[in-house]
């Protein structure tokens, strides 16, 4: 039998019965890439092909539940179609995707007519689009001054349309085709944030239709999946599908266990003598809030003009990841009902509202090449060179593939079409490869077994892989790559923190032969630097100051900066608290080092090996004669947090923290007496869980002794 992953690859009997034959899928996928790349079409045959392409992707998405495109890419093609139809209305086919008002109607539920039809929102993508929208509103309403807008998140879940009559929830429905939806009252009633009664009558309203979005909190979704994994059940794909699927189950108790919330964002229709009393959207949200609905109260803003709207949209775009719910943009609404009425609507959209869509977080591209980089301890890191693609505001052309296991787990081949993602400030990563799109010219990625940089045919240097480590390493460095990486690491923020001396400067000085090892950093010729292109006297002086400053760094920074394998910041602090001078470590044996709390055998052996090598001791001497501090300083001395509230406990942070950075959190934990550790095991006492916590949380939940705290609960301990 053919699994869905292989649909395009194998021509089995089953695939013959599919709506799209294998070869058609390949052809349509090739066309997709062409349209995405050229983004310009003008001829009728091109138009026909584009419609076919969109139909195909709708089928993959809605019918097969196995999309081949990132959402943003579908939008790009859809917008391309809209623009060509605008220029050539005679092309428009009755089955064009633009002619369909999105519908989620199914025959499984009774169909009900909404009190007021629900149109869809037009999209905008940048500040200029929003300014055009504002100009259009002013024109339509004949207002010359500023317009007030309410801006609120565009929740990424499933629409719910609720009717309250005589203060009682009498019906719940999906959006359906906008005019009529599926009646899902029983399921809706399981959603705890939807009140079963609401005193609309206090406002003179006897019947009201309100709209909102059913949505699942990201952390609840993760916890739910962790639970399912524990029970060996199939995992849910994402919060949105889980919410929309939950609304439409035939069994309300299944809806109930999905932890669905509902944000209510609009009174769509109202009857009763009070119905006309509400004069604007901002007021309607306040009323809904007072009636007990979950509304976007803290998330929305009444903006006095379009500049404020744009600023607010951008602020939210930046904090999108930290928000507990999935949102894919903002919705900008003219607040005044009178002006809404004046602006009116088209057959598809209200003219008084606009969605501002955030930049796509995901995109597909091609894995063109894998290059290998050598790190400071000889670690070989594979890096994918991909077809450059715009992703959440930056162009991505290189992505780390981490190690050999990652390549195997993700089943990556050269020339594969891959899905990549970049969430917030997080560096891009490969989500998956589309095995079903392979055409036969893809090649297996063979991770090298000899150093790809140092080796030559006659003289191969075999890579080594330590037990329990994912990385392959080059054991000897003859090309200088490791020295270069060591220097880049030495000057970095966490190590010697030499301000202004970034990777590119170290690379340049290395290329010029000025830097061979880290001690050369303290023997630079600043006159020569000042003459370099792009430098000048002032920058040379600034660099000199930063380098001078680093000479007085505490010992633990230097120890960490030496780049000894496995010697992290914490171990560097433990050592510097024990010794008076860096060279003292040369007198410690493996056993003695291991007696120190938290120092394991691997690190102890690495340290002893490092300090046994004469060239390393000479390096320390050269650093010292260059003026670098090798002595224990005040800040290296041990601090006593042993009576803190978390004394004796081990702690680990996972997921995205909202209130502080990871490092800050670890520092707070230390000051409370806890010890930060890096993995979930039986030795872990506390796991602090931020947004999007993943495998660590799942693992911790399986260990009964681990106490799981939210970020807020952790902060409360500090008081
Ligand atoms: S207002 C005229 N506000 O976005 C339509 N919609 O096409 C009035 N959505 O699926 C919709 N958050 O459920 C509005 N704050 C918000 C929203 C929102 C999400 C969804 C809505 C529908 C789509 C609108």
**Mean pLDDT, rounded, for 80-90:** 90
User: Facing residues of 163 across strands?
Assistant: 171, 209
The pLDDT of residue 136 is 97
Q: Are 220 and 259 in contact (CB under 8 A)?
A: yes
The pLDDT of residue 660 is 85
Gap from CA of 355 to ligand 1 centroid (Å): 8
Task: Identify the helix (H) or strand (E) that includes residue 549.
Answer: helix 537-550
Question: Considering only 142-146, 384-388, 406-410, 694-698, which range has the smallest mean pLDDT?
Answer: 694-698
Pocket test for ligand 1, best of 118, 119, 121 (most atoms within 8 A of CB): 121
- Is CATH 3.60.15.10 the classification given to domain 650-718? no
**Mean pLDDT, rounded, for 40-68:** 83
The domains of the chain are located at 22-99, 111-357, 360-479, 481-636, 650-718
- 20 pLDDT band, cuts 50/70/90, is confident
Q: Which atom of ligand 1 is nearest to 212's Cα?
A: 13
The Cα angle at residue 377 between residues 375 and 380, in degrees rounded to 5: 45
Distance (Å, whole) CA 45 – CA 717: 67
The pLDDT of residue 107 is 57
> Which of the residue ranges 227-236, 266-275, 637-646, 705-714 has the most confident prediction, judged by mean pLDDT?
266-275
Q: Topology of domain 360-479, per CATH?
A: OB fold (Dihydrolipoamide Acetyltransferase, E2P) (2.40.50)
- 7 pLDDT band, cuts 50/70/90, is very low
The pLDDT of residue 5 is 36
Does the beta carbon of 461 sit less than 6 angstroms from any atom of ligand 1? Answer: no
- 237-263 confidence digits (pLDDT tens): 789 889 999 998 888 888 888 999 999
Q: Give the strand order in the sheet containing 380-391.
A: 394-400, 380-391, 362-374, 417-421, 429-433
**Mean pLDDT, rounded, for 103-130:** 86
Task: Give the residue, by CA position, lying nearest to ligand 1 atom 13.
Answer: 159
From residue 10, alpha-carbon distances to 14, 29, 198, 434, 547 in Å are: 10, 16, 56, 14, 61
Q: Topology of domain 481-636, per CATH?
A: DNA polymerase; domain 1 (1.10.150)
The pLDDT of residue 12 is 43
The pLDDT of residue 480 is 73
Does the beta carbon of 265 sit less than 6 angstroms from any atom of ligand 1? Answer: yes
Q: Topology of domain 22-99, per CATH?
A: Helix Hairpins (1.10.287)
Q: 68 CB contacts (<8 Å, ≥6 apart)?
A: 29, 32, 57, 60, 364, 434, 436, 437
Active site residue 573: no
DSSP-based helix, strand, coil % in the chain, nearest 5: 40, 20, 40
Task: Give me 712's structure tokens.
Answer: 């807020």
Distance (Å, whole) CA 353 – CA 150: 10
In the predicted structure, residue 644 carries a pLDDT above the cut 90: no
In the predicted structure, residue 216 carries a pLDDT above the cut 90: yes
Does the beta carbon of 350 sit less than 6 angstroms from any atom of ligand 1? Answer: yes
**Mean pLDDT, rounded, for 388-394:** 83
For residue 254, with 0-12 CB atoms within 10 Å meaning exposed, 13-18 middle and 19 or more buried, which class applies? middle
Does the beta carbon of 119 sit less than 6 angstroms from any atom of ligand 1? Answer: yes
More confident residue, 639 or 614: 614
Task: Give the residue, by CA position, lying nearest to ligand 1 atom 7.
Answer: 120
Distance (Å, whole) CA 171 – CA 163: 5
In the predicted structure, residue 17 carries a pLDDT above the cut 90: no
Question: Considering only 158-167, 224-233, 527-536, 572-581, which range has the smallest mean pLDDT?
Answer: 224-233
**Mean pLDDT, rounded, for 379-392:** 90
Does the beta carbon of 209 sit less than 6 angstroms from any atom of ligand 1? Answer: no
Phi, psi of 151, rounded to the nearest 5 degrees = -115, 130
Does the beta carbon of 654 sit less than 6 angstroms from any atom of ligand 1? Answer: no
Nearest to 244 by CA among 279, 199, 213: 213
Distance (Å, whole) CA 342 – CA 351: 9
Q: Cα dihedral sign for 365, 78, 351, 146?
A: positive
User: Facing residues of 207 across strands?
Assistant: 165, 271
Distance (Å, whole) CA 558 – CA 556: 5
Nearest to 712 by CA among 674, 670, 660, 672: 660
Distance (Å, whole) CA 299 – CA 657: 19
- 315 pLDDT band, cuts 50/70/90, is very high
The conformation of residue 209, written as its DSSP 8-state character, comes to E
Q: Are 521 and 490 in contact (CB under 8 A)?
A: yes
Average model confidence (pLDDT) across the chain: 89
Gap from CA of 247 to ligand 1 centroid (Å): 17
Rg over CA atoms, the chain: 31
The conformation of residue 516, written as its DSSP 8-state character, comes to S
- 1 pLDDT band, cuts 50/70/90, is very low
Polymer length in residues for the chain: 719
The crossing angle, in degrees rounded to 10, of helices 306-319 and 127-141 is: 150
- 11 pLDDT band, cuts 50/70/90, is very low
In the predicted structure, residue 15 carries a pLDDT above the cut 50: no
Q: Which atom of ligand 1 is nearest to 153's Cα?
A: 15
- 322-363 confidence digits (pLDDT tens): 899 999 999 999 999 999 999 999 888 999 999 999 988 889
Q: Topology of domain 111-357, per CATH?
A: D-amino Acid Aminotransferase; Chain A, domain 1 (3.30.470)
- Token pair 């979005």 is found at 213
Does the beta carbon of 331 sit less than 6 angstroms from any atom of ligand 1? Answer: yes
Distance (Å, whole) CA 267 – CA 281: 8
User: Facing residues of 421 across strands?
Assistant: 362, 429
In the predicted structure, residue 640 carries a pLDDT above the cut 80: no
**Mean pLDDT, rounded, for 449-469:** 78
Q: Which atom of ligand 1 is nearest to 156's Cα?
A: 19
From residue 586, alpha-carbon distances to 76, 464, 590 in Å are: 62, 26, 11
Coil, strand or helix: which one is 293? Answer: coil
Identify each DSSP E strand in 54-194 by its residue range: 111-113, 123-124, 149-155, 158-165, 168-173, 180-182
In the predicted structure, residue 119 carries a pLDDT above the cut 90: yes
The pLDDT of residue 26 is 86
Q: Helix count (H) and strand count (E) of the chain?
A: 25, 22
């Amino acid at each position: 039998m053919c699994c869905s992953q292989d649909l395009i690859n194998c021509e089995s009997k089953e695939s013959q019965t599919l709506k799209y034959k294998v070869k058609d899928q390949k052809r349509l996928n090739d066309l997709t890439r062409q349209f995405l790349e050229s983004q310009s079409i003008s001829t009728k045959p091109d138009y026909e092909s584009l419609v076919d392409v969109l139909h195909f992707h709708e089928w993959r998405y809605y019918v097969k539940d196995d999309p081949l495109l990132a959402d943003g890419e579908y939008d790009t093609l859809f917008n391309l179609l809209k623009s060509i139809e605008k220029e050539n209305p005679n092309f428009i086919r009755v089955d064009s995707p633009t002619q369909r008002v999105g519908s989620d109607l199914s025959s499984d539920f009774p169909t009900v007519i909404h009190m007021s039809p629900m149109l869809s929102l037009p999209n905008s993508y940048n500040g200029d689009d929003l300014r055009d929208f504002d100009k259009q509103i002013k024109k339509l309403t004949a207002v010359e001054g500023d317009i007030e807008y309410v801006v609120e998140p565009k929740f990424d879940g499933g629409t719910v349309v609720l009717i309250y009559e005589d203060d009682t929830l009498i019906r719940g429905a999906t959006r359906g085709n906008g005019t009529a939806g599926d009646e899902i009252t029983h399921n809706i009633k399981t959603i705890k944030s939807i009140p079963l009664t609401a005193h609309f009558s206090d406002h003179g309203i006897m019947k009201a239709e309100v709209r909102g979005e059913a949505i699942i909190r990201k952390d609840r979704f993760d916890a739910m999946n962790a639970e399912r994994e524990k029970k060996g059940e199939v995992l849910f794909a994402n919060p949105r599908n889980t919410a929309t699927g939950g609304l439409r189950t035939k069994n309300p108790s299944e809806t109930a266990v999905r932890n669905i919330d509902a944000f209510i964002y609009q009174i769509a229709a109202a009857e009763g003598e009070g119905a006309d009393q509400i004069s604007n959207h901002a007021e309607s949200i306040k009323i809904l809030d007072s009636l007990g609905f979950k509304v976007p109260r803290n998330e929305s803003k009444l903006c006095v003009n379009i500049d404020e709207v744009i600023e607010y949209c951008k602020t939210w775009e930046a904090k999108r990841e930290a928000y507990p719910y999935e949102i894919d943009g903002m919705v900008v609404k003219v607040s005044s009902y009178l002006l809404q009425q004046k602006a009116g609507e088209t057959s598809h959209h209200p003219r008084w509202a606009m969605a501002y869509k955030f930049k796509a977080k995901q995109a597909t591209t091609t894995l063109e090449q894998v290059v290998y980089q050598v790190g400071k301890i000889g670690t070989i890191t594979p890096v994918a060179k991909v077809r450059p693609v715009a992703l959440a505001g930056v162009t991505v052309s290189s992505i780390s593939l981490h190690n050999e296991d990652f390549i195997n787990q993700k089943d990556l081949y050269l020339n594969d079409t891959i899905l990549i993602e970049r969430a917030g400030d997080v560096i891009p990563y490969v989500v998956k490869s589309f095995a079903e799109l392979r055409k036969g010219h893809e090649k297996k990625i063979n991770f090298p077994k000899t150093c790809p940089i140092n080796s030559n045919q006659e003289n191969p240097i075999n890579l080594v892989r330590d037990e329990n480590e994912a990385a392959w390493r080059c054991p000897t460095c003859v090309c200088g790559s490791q020295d270069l990486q060591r220097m880049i690491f030495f000057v970095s923020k966490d190590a010697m923190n030499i301000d202004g001396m970034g990777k590119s400067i170290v690379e340049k000085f290395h290329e010029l032969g000025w830097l061979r090892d880290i001690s050369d950093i303290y023997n630079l010729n600043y006159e020569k630097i000042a003459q370099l292109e792009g430098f000048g006297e002032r920058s040379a002086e600034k660099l000199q100051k930063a380098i001078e400053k680093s000479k007085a760094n505490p010992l633990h920074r230097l120890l960490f900066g030496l780049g000894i394998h496995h010697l992290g910041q914490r171990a560097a602090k433990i050592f510097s608290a024990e010794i008076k001078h860096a060279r003292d470590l040369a007198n410690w044996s493996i056993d003695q080092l291991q007696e120190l709390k938290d120092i394991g055998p691997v690190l102890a052996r690495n340290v002893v090996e490092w300090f046994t090598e004469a060239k390393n001791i000479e390096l320390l001497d050269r650093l010292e004669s260059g003026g670098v501090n090798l002595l224990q300083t005040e800040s290296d001395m041990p601090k006593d947090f042993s009576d803190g509230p978390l004394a004796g406990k081990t702690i680990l942070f996972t997921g995205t923290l909202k209130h502080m950075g990871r490092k800050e959190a670890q520092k707070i934990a230390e000051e409370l007496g806890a010890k930060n550790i890096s993995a979930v095991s039986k030795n872990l006492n506390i796991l602090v869980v931020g947004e999007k916590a993943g495998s660590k949380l799942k693992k911790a939940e399986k260990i009964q002794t681990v106490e799981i705290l939210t970020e807020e609960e952790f902060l409360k301990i500090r008081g």
